[in-house]
Structure 1
């Protein structure tokens, strides 16, 4: 009796294994015929029996599940993610098959991602580049291109997540490039080392060389900072900017990024210090001098502001905003005397002080007018606001005839 039970059990297990094999073969056949729905149906028959299935068949099951879910590239993002999860469960007995399948997935997604990026379908491209990274986690460049695509799509939340991941991974993007000059065109071409050596040997190329590309770490942390800025997260942005500058302290873009963050925080002294650091790197950049002038004017440091605006105009004589603001330094300084003038009494000493301040105010206003007159002499067709500020100054100093002359020029320019 006992022997009969054992034989019956063995027959049951044998029939059980045969059913599993049959469904796996059916799934494999369906996949070869691109019938992925049928393959999934067959595999679903095996799923309830998975705990009792032999290990070698388990790997086969997981591999076929991955193929069915991937559906030769037609699977949804969710399905492809599940396919990758199934591939992770395949043991080393199918290591070669898994590697070949992942290469197939990689090639398919790479073509799609590049095509969508070229077609400016940045959202789809970002998803596909990130999927490429999921397929080949060792190639973090795919995640970098996913972030670049997300930025192009103005999907800053996605880009931030991807950039932070790259930062955590310590991604640098540094590559070794092999190059040579095409003799026929005279242009430098980058290619694989073996191909370059063959071309040089064939004398179609010369001047071979090798170089390392620049690190993308500073760019990544800078973009993290800029995205935080756009989200109003100034503290996080500042922390990212400082980290970026530690990686590349002489990077002008990073200096300006940090400077602008301090400006938003109204820490004008730090802003000005960073702008002066930037000027040392690019002394002939009129915008840097202009920015120093603006912040100095805001701090009522009129002499420093004038010096900066004058330098900007020296570099760029048609810099209208620099001329307007240099003129404004005199107007603001003149207006700063008004409170004292209004608070004076009627004594002889106070009257004398009043006259002194009024003369100083008029002198400052006249200097403000002179800046604009000199600008117009060098730029005969100035912007309307140059004329308008000059009219306002003349009206304030009581020179109505000069104001009318300038008004006529303004009217004629319209």
Structure 2
């Protein structure tokens, strides 16, 4: 009989512990609702190890409150990126508990606010990227993708950020996933500005965007046509393999992609760039010639051939491709800018040569010749920069470049006029 009393006493003690847990979770929930997420997390931390043995319903409530508390901290700009990821992990635990128990009491509420959470993640990913915090940015994008796997552009952005952060192993993993789902990045993307946050958000469907605009919560709608990103994906896969010394895998990655997508010019450009990187100049020249002949009026192809030629130090070819691109579209600002950069880069070489010269009559004569050549280059750049400013007068970097050219040529009147008109 004594043994039975002991068992009953233990069960009563255990029941009391469970009841106390639930009360503490409820107390934490109250703190969240009162705007005190930090206090809520302190309460939850005190029962963290007891939760594993709790009822499924209490476990679910624990993770629900924990996730909401972490979102509350993020909303207060406290370790925003870190706490958003931790919140998502809590919600994932919540989903797991409710899925295994067959009861759904809280995850439905989380799922209903997933769009808001996803946009917060993307916003932070963009912000981290601008601060050169590429790995943090990549993790944000990836969590946003896990929250909504239909929005595959976030997986692509995660892979790109990992490349920028030089985490090539993670980048390759995500690129391989993109390859497996045959992601191209083409299609129409729909954007609008959230009136509350004043930030632009992306929508998968025009209907979803337009519905919110009609509600009056969003404004300034715009559409954007996404160009194929297959070439960049396969190129980066190949370059990572190439960097790891696996040249065969690198070549196969591009070759297989081209066989599956023979009309995708981005892949042909990627193959040409890989040939350039691997110093296979014969293949490079062959691919560039074929691309330019096949797509003589394709602006994107011609412009990118200009970029490739610049990387190959083929400045004459690069200039011709940019001029051809301008012929196709006289408002192609990228070509005007790249042309000016291409020419201004050559000035650096001339300056280096001038600095090496002495003061002998022969050297002074050579100095004057180089100075004249430099001035001619500066003068040749002016029309391109002026046209670029005409197309986009708000681009301060272009204006600064032209001001520098005017200053180098002692064109005081032109310098003052542009300085007065420049938009800053």
TM-score using structure 1 length? 0.53
Which residue number corresponds to residue 172 of structure 1?
184
Counterpart selection for 1:135 from 147, 151, 154: 147
Distance 1:214 1:262 in 2: 23
Bigger shift: 19-28 or 82-91? 82-91
SS in 2 for 1:42: helix
Counterpart selection for 2:206 from 182, 192, 203: 192
Distance 1:221 1:245 in 2: 10
Which protein has the larger Cα radius of gyration, Structure 1 or Structure 2? 1
Distance 2:51 2:294 in 1: 67
> By how many angstroms is 1:126 displaced?
3.0
SS in 2 for 1:146: helix
SS in 1 for 2:29: helix
Q: Deviations over 1:342-379 (max 9, x none)?
A: xxxxxxxxxxxxxxxxxxxxxxxxxxxxxxxxxxxxxx
- Kept in 2, the 8 Å contact 1:217–1:247? The answer is no
Distance 1:173 1:258 in 2: 19
Which residue number corresponds to residue 256 of structure 2?
243
SS in 2 for 1:93: coil
Distance 1:198 1:80 in 2: 26
Work out the number of aligned pairs and report it.
294
Which residue number corresponds to residue 86 of structure 1?
93
Would the alpha carbon gap of residues 88 and 270 (structure 1) be closer, same or farther in structure 2, given more than 3 Å must change?
Answer: same
Distance 1:198 1:31 in 2: 28
Which residue number corresponds to residue 138 of structure 2?
126
Which residue number corresponds to residue 32 of structure 2?
31
Q: State how 1:307-346 maps to structure 2 within 5 Å.
A: none
Would the alpha carbon gap of residues 37 and 120 (structure 1) be closer, same or farther in structure 2, given more than 3 Å must change?
Answer: closer
Would the alpha carbon gap of residues 45 and 279 (structure 1) be closer, same or farther in structure 2, given more than 3 Å must change?
Answer: closer
> By how many angstroms is 1:147 displaced?
2.9
Distance 1:38 1:211 in 2: 44
Distance 2:232 2:152 in 1: 15
> By how many angstroms is 1:23 displaced?
1.5
CA RMSD of aligned residues (A): 5.1
- Kept in 1, the 8 Å contact 2:125–2:138? The answer is yes
Distance 1:282 1:51 in 2: 63
Counterpart selection for 1:413 from 366, 369, 388: 369
Segments of structure 1 that go 5 or more residues without pairing to the other structure are 180-189, 200-209, 296-308, 319-382, 386-406
Distance 2:97 2:15 in 1: 24
Are residues 1:53 and 2:66 paired?
no
- Kept in 2, the 8 Å contact 1:65–1:86? The answer is no
Distance 1:103 1:26 in 2: 28
